[in-house]
Structure 1
Amino acid sequence: MKINQLSKCAGIGVFFLFANLNAQSSEKVIKNFIQNDVNFRNNSTAEFKILNEDNSVSLKSNIVNVQQYLGNTPIYKSLAKAVIRDGKVISFNNNFQKASNNVISDKIDKTEALSSALRYLDIKDSSFELANDIDGDLVNLPDNKVANVRFYFEKNNSLIPAQLFFINQSKENKFFGILVSLTTGEILENNKMIDECSFDTDHFSSSESFDTTEHLISHFNHNTTAKNESKAFTNASYNVFPFPLEAPTFGSRTLVTNPWDLAASPEGWHSNGNTTYSNTYGNNVLAYVDNNGSNSYGFSPTSTTTGDFTFDFPFAESTTLSAYDNRSSAVTNLFYANNMVHDIFYKFGFTEATRNFQSNNFGKGGGQGDAVRAEAYDGSGYNNANFASGYEILNTVTGNYTVQAPRMQMYLWNYSVSLKQRLFYTDPALATRPPVNTGSANFGRPLMEAGITGDVIIPSVATGCTALPSGSLTGKIAMVNTTGCAYNIKAKTVQDAGAIGMIVHRTNSNTVPNISVSNVTNVSIPSIMIPRDEGNFITDELTAGRTVNVNLKDLAVGYKNSSFDNGVIIHEYGHGISNRLTGQGYSCLQNLEQMGEGWSDFFALMLTNSPNASATTGRGIGTYSTNTVTTGPGIRQYRYTTDMTINPHTYADTNSTGGQPHAVGEIWATMLWDLHWKLAEKYGYNSDVTADPNSGSAKALQLVMDGLKLQPCSPNFVSGRDAILQADQLAGGADNCLIWEVFARRGLGVNASSGTAANIYDQVEDFTTPEACILATEDITKNKNFGIYPNPAKGEFFIKTQPTVGNETIKVQILDLSGKVVKSLERKKNSSDSISTQDLIKGTYLVVITENGKSNAEKLIIE
């Protein structure tokens, strides 16, 4: 054991030495590029530091994320994406600020700036601590802490000093990234750091089963060679809904053994290299119950066996059973699904160097201490799921990381449940009364399994609309009627008088709706509504002088549990992938046209694909959680399919979304789903994306992942499309025209415009493909007077012409498959000189030769 640990330490040291040398080498290459590139003629001394570097196997290049600096201070979202191959910068997309910008001095300190942030966010709780700016040590601090980073912020051609605070307010389940001016205290930017996926029951206007098998998981379960040779992990079995099963409505549970991939999880799923856990904890995920909504570690099932671990717990659902009966099996499935997503996406490039989620990075770079906190039965609400991606912020001076671990919150869903009982009498005689349906409030504390217990009392002001004597309702549950004022005012009134809960008696009907009031932040007690007859019964009991003691709780009878919905789990984890891979890894998916929900849907579809699916098979999202048919759209407007009579989305539809993230994302995911099936048509379909890297399915997922790495901060549909095209070009360019055709079919063609960043109503769609794609077909009619050779070319090619007399001149243009001219020259027609391709990356191009106004084209492959 000691020898093994020493070997690990040596490996870590060697890796960091290599990583440091590699970063120094890339920095030198980039500096040389900036000094010599014409675009930096007025800013050739631009200061920068490397944030992270991905040695991409799929792109055969180093993808380097670069942060612009002024002195030791980074400039906010002033970033570059350098692609380095063979020691040369072949692409440098950036939005660097000009050196001529006026620099403003500080006028307030960061303490005053923090006060401004807290006032803006209406946070009165004083339990915040600042991490040290120098070492950024936040890894082991509780989740209600604040990390802060100093930036310059560009505004009106000036650089304003600013402080970025990450404020995680666990008590109210809020997490913000807020940038405050250090000159005026102005809030320059405020970003919600939690991606919410909640939906109302009337969210959709659309009125819109397929078989699956264990095909995907078989690749992990039956790859036994590495497993039999390694003893670093503890064997483990899980009774779960195995990938690619989407949810319980798509198939049955199966006991799977050692489903991990040792390349991604070298210690298996229950060890972080230092500690082996016998519960649902490990290096990638900590899964547990958080039914009180405290964001603290709760119940986590433990293996039923010693030695080899076994997580085999009962599962049963019906309209008469409580969802809490499945507590152990739900957390087990949540643990399994999160780990599966971690291991699968590791294969596609979401690794330690690209800010993935692990407690221990085993010396492979990046920040660590950020395994996913996966919370089942989350007590902060219903009909929801969310993901806070956290961050890994590198202090480029010290080399230390400030790390915030991600949090996944999975909720219970009560769609289409006819009886929602939340009122329970504690007196055995009253407990025999028939249960009644109740409505719940969208403000205050949601009722969960434990609930609250107290005597019911009717306040001296039965409406609850005017102030009551202080302490008159201490420890009581106040019952008020529906008249007089808004429900939140009633709740605040009885709360101020000491009540621990509120019952609203609907005196005029036995039908009860939910209580909905927007933007209520000053009520913390739970509230329910009960029907007329039940309220009359309680009133009569109290009038007769009898005590009515009740327990207000929600046992989730008949509810669905999103911890069993693999599609929703993958979707949520997908937010972490897209956030961490874009730009500096946080706050880059906040603009109106960002496509975060789209990538998440696409990932969910790709990992839950049926072996017998086809391009026109309609796919929904969250059909199990919403208690709807498997063939429906679930929580989306249309089912995902290439059939435009079923899913007619085009780019122009973004203009009618109002920037609603799910509506925007659905359109992007539709295009990505089309891309998958077009590549599957060309290279072959495989529902197991890990089985064959050459399948069209694997190629599609790899392209999308590489596009995420290449796209800029605050991407839109156009820049997202261009990043995927660039990924293909870097990989050889074999599918550039196919990609163009897919996007153009949905209105994201050559002339599509995303408009202005602050406007979600000015997108322009276009259905044309580049001229190069139209010309670059196999049936090009070649002019016999011209030819190019060798083809494929390595480093150079020649133009072959018919011998002529004279000094005629021809024009030669080389176009990439986006239609961009990458090289242009004029030369004598009879010249025998070669044309160099040394400055072009490998891929497919179009050579256009023009003589006397007439052009002829021929495809050229550069190797």
Structure 2
Amino acid sequence: MVPFNRLFTAIYLSVVYATVAIAAPWVPGQSNIGTHRVHKIGKRGVELVAFSPPSKFEVFEDGVEHPNTNSFAEASLEESTVAFVHDRLSLDAESISFKRGFADDKTSYGYVQQKHNGINFANSVANVAFQNNKVVAFGNSFVKPADIADSAPVVSLEDAIATAEDALNGKRNEIDAKLEYVVLEDGSAILAHVFQIRNEKEDVFYEAFVDAHTGELKSVVDFFAHAAYRVLPIHKSVPTQGFELITDPQNIAASPSGWHNDGDFTYTETWGNNAASYQTFTTSNTPMSAPGHIFDYTPNFNIAPSSAVNVHAARVNTFYVTNVLHDVWYLYGFTESAFNFQLNNFGKGGEDWDHVQISVQDNGGYNNAVFGTPPDGQAGYMGMYLWTAFSPLRDASLENNIIIHEYTHGLTNRLTGGGTARCLTTTESQGLGEGWSDAMADWATVTSTTAPDFQVGNWANGRNIRRYPYSASTSVNPLRYSSLASSSGVHQFGEIWANALHNVHIALLGAHGYSADAMTNANATGGNAVFLHLFINALKLQPCNPSFVDARAAWIQADVNRYGGANRCLLWKTFASRGLGVGAVSRSYVDDTSVPSGC
């Protein structure tokens, strides 16, 4: 069995101390939430100012010809991707490093990094999408550094590790160290030793970037962003809707060995190829055993969550919800080659050994939940906390919308940028991440052509933890694109995107009806199935650190790719109704309600 890990939400951070002022935005006059993230970390009061070069994103609807059209059909995905980036950005092939790629049933995706003297850049990346031998989308954050460090390190790896271990209060783990360039806000590129630092007891898990010429810790990636089973069925949000005993819910098309077998071993615990659920590190990390796989525990809300029956119920419910989502998303394209979470990928691509580890009643805090997404090949981590608004305390593990919200962070961080977990790191893109997570929880509850107003955390917390319910009514929820300018923090930014997607879902249900089998049939035609296809395909298309405008463009291009643009005007009208029309400009946060001609 693999060890349990504490992982943290991916935040690409440049480290400065609290006495240093935050640097000016990348583009003067624009908000910095699309390129920066400010975060405090550690007991020493270190202030982290995140910077990522802004991505440029183009979509081409029906596609543009590849520069090597005559040989495109015979070329590999790597060759085609590198050739297009080379042509589009006028770069020589030695400046482009193919990272990885994959194909789903409609589209192929290639991901590259910029490089210099054979060394990759950590935060200068590009992605290309191909369909029908044409390019349909291109995103990149490639840069022309004003100054670039020599490619020969001066500081030893051992000294760099000692610096990072001291600053981050952890120890280097077993993942191989490497050299990478890191672009800073002033346009320079430093050479960095890159490795991972861990301290499970102190909730530390970072990828550290130490300047290989000065020995300074310059950046980190923080990896933390969360049979028969008596559970709260996936379409229910809160325990008051009733637990049920569900028999054999696994989908063999997505989990060929079932939920309790990894292809080599069968487990009697809440452990399997896709997920492992256990109680927090303060007690026991041994999964619960149920011979015969009959996990039948009815929670008792009149006694403490720490009672045995409630711990068992929490383990079972989180294990069930996470596995259901794994299977649903798998059918819609979040597969092994697309960087999903599995111990065993059965030779179908991607990296093994990265199922989701779920800590129920986690000791990391209260009134919250977390999901950590490291790169493909390292286990995801979901931490589910207790909530203190009631006595006895309430357990987030028994409120499905919180579980779904957390696991969706894994989906969005893995699919954006090609499995690196480095591409939702600015304040704006992390806000999108929060919005996608709420929108997925919202989607799961819809059981008819009507998508009612939706709230988050109202059982655990006693009230909605968002400013407004998600609603088509502007009197119930007035949030628009321009609301970003007056909002604060990633969750408030996320509310704006989640509400836009709530309205998109309503529009698609109105146009296509509802498919009751959408969770088990990716060929379903209802608006709920269309919504999920566009949701997942758009993540694959969008650039590293997308803006709201980029994310909207990716949805519209995803519709062109999968449905031939059948929903193009519906999408434009819906996004425009919340300020994301044709004239909306990335990172300006000024409403536009215009739609393309013909719509």
Same fold (TM over 0.5): yes
- Report matched runs for 1:373-412 at 5 Å: 373-392=357-376, 403-412=377-386
The one of 568, 585, 604 aligned to 2:441: 604
1:241 and 2:258 correspond: no
Change (3 A) 1:588 1:40: closer
Aligned to 2:287: 300
1:586 and 2:384 correspond: no
Aligned to 1:172: 202
Instruction: Provide the C-alpha distance between the structure 2 equivalents of 1:238 and 1:193, rounded to a whole number of angstroms.
Output: 31
Change (3 A) 1:318 1:115: same
Contact 2:238–2:399 (Cα < 8 Å) also in 1: yes
Instruction: Provide the C-alpha distance between the structure 1 equivalents of 2:517 and 2:370, rounded to a whole number of angstroms.
Output: 26
For 1:608, give the aligned amino acid. T
Contact 1:284–1:359 (Cα < 8 Å) also in 2: yes
Contact 1:23–1:50 (Cα < 8 Å) also in 2: no
Deviations 1:639-662 (A, max 9, x none): 11111110110111112223x111
Change (3 A) 1:354 1:81: same
Corresponding residue SS for 2:383: strand
**How far did 1:71 drift?**
4.1
**How far did 1:98 drift?**
4.3
Contact 2:194–2:210 (Cα < 8 Å) also in 1: yes
Aligned to 1:689: 518
Contact 1:383–1:413 (Cα < 8 Å) also in 2: yes
Aligned to 1:128: 172
Instruction: Provide the C-alpha distance between the structure 2 equivalents of 1:274 and 1:238, rounded to a whole number of angstroms.
Output: 23
The one of 568, 573, 582 aligned to 1:741: 573
Aligned to 2:6: none
The one of 351, 357, 378 aligned to 2:335: 351
Provide TM-score, normalisation by structure 2. 0.81
Corresponding residue SS for 2:76: helix
**How far did 1:49 drift?**
3.4
Contact 2:305–2:394 (Cα < 8 Å) also in 1: no
Aligned to 1:653: 483
For 1:29, give the aligned amino acid. S
**How far did 1:26 drift?**
1.4
Aligned to 1:80: 126
Aligned to 1:559: 393
Identity of paired residues, percent? Answer: 35
Aligned to 2:156: 109
Aligned to 2:26: none
Aligned to 2:182: 153
Contact 1:291–1:377 (Cα < 8 Å) also in 2: no
* More displaced stretch, 92-101 vs 594-603: 92-101
Instruction: Provide the C-alpha distance between the structure 2 equivalents of 1:410 and 1:745, rounded to a whole number of angstroms.
Output: 36
Instruction: Provide the C-alpha distance between the structure 1 equivalents of 2:344 and 2:311, rounded to a whole number of angstroms.
Output: 28
Deviations 1:775-828 (A, max 9, x none): x15xxxxxxxxxxxxxxxxxxxxxxxxxxxxxxxxxxxxxxxxxxxxxxxxxxx
Corresponding residue SS for 1:625: helix
Corresponding residue SS for 2:507: helix
The one of 592, 596, 599 aligned to 1:766: 592
Aligned to 1:835: none
Aligned to 1:222: none
**How far did 1:270 drift?**
0.5
Contact 2:160–2:193 (Cα < 8 Å) also in 1: yes
Contact 1:382–1:411 (Cα < 8 Å) also in 2: yes
Deviations 1:195-222 (A, max 9, x none): 28xxxxxxxxxxxxxxxxxxxxxxxxxx
* More displaced stretch, 676-685 vs 157-166: 157-166
**How far did 1:674 drift?**
0.7
Aligned to 1:714: 545
In structure 2, list runs of 5 or more residues that go unmatched: 1-72
Deviations 1:17-39 (A, max 9, x none): xxxxx99711222344355x3x3
- Report matched runs for 1:398-797 at 5 Å: 403-417=377-391, 558-584=392-418, 585-594=420-429, 595-611=432-448, 614-615=450-451, 617-628=452-463, 634-658=464-488, 660-686=489-515, 689-690=518-519, 691=521, 693-731=524-562, 732-755=564-587, 763-770=589-596, 772=597, 776=598
Instruction: Provide the C-alpha distance between the structure 1 equivalents of 2:306 and 2:409, rounded to a whole number of angstroms.
Output: 30
Change (3 A) 1:689 1:303: same
Contact 1:323–1:561 (Cα < 8 Å) also in 2: no
Provide TM-score, normalisation by structure 1. 0.57
For 2:443, give the aligned amino acid. M
For 2:383, give the aligned amino acid. Q
Instruction: Provide the C-alpha distance between the structure 1 equivalents of 2:305 and 2:201, rounded to a whole number of angstroms.
Output: 30
1:372 and 2:356 correspond: yes
Contact 1:193–1:587 (Cα < 8 Å) also in 2: no
Instruction: Provide the C-alpha distance between the structure 1 equivalents of 2:569 and 2:460, rounded to a whole number of angstroms.
Output: 39
Contact 2:165–2:172 (Cα < 8 Å) also in 1: no
Contact 1:571–1:600 (Cα < 8 Å) also in 2: yes
**How far did 1:325 drift?**
3.8
Aligned to 1:327: 311
Contact 1:68–1:74 (Cα < 8 Å) also in 2: yes
Aligned to 1:284: 274
> Which structure: greater helix fraction?
2
For 2:407, give the aligned amino acid. Y
Instruction: Provide the C-alpha distance between the structure 2 equivalents of 1:406 and 1:592, rounded to a whole number of angstroms.
Output: 22
Deviations 1:472-494 (A, max 9, x none): xxxxxxxxxxxxxxxxxxxxxxx
Aligned to 1:361: 345
Instruction: Provide the C-alpha distance between the structure 2 equivalents of 1:694 and 1:180, rounded to a whole number of angstroms.
Output: 50
**How far did 1:741 drift?**
1.1
Change (3 A) 1:91 1:241: closer
For 2:357, give the aligned amino acid. R
Corresponding residue SS for 1:352: coil
**How far did 1:717 drift?**
0.5
For 2:470, give the aligned amino acid. Y
Corresponding residue SS for 1:719: helix
Contact 2:505–2:527 (Cα < 8 Å) also in 1: yes
- Report matched runs for 1:795-810 at 5 Å: none
Instruction: Provide the C-alpha distance between the structure 2 equivalents of 1:65 and 1:693, rounded to a whole number of angstroms.
Output: 30
In structure 1, list runs of 5 or more residues that go unmatched: 1-21, 133-147, 197-235, 393-402, 418-557, 629-633, 756-761, 778-863
Change (3 A) 1:31 1:593: closer
Aligned to 1:272: 262
Corresponding residue SS for 1:286: strand
Change (3 A) 1:653 1:89: closer
Contact 1:239–1:256 (Cα < 8 Å) also in 2: yes
- Report matched runs for 1:169-248 at 5 Å: 169-195=199-225, 236-248=227-239
Change (3 A) 1:589 1:722: same
Instruction: Provide the C-alpha distance between the structure 2 equivalents of 1:315 and 1:416, rounded to a whole number of angstroms.
Output: 16
Change (3 A) 1:107 1:413: same
Corresponding residue SS for 2:273: coil
CA RMSD of aligned residues (A): 2.4
Instruction: Provide the C-alpha distance between the structure 1 equivalents of 2:214 and 2:115, rounded to a whole number of angstroms.
Output: 22
Instruction: Provide the C-alpha distance between the structure 2 equivalents of 1:323 and 1:738, rounded to a whole number of angstroms.
Output: 50
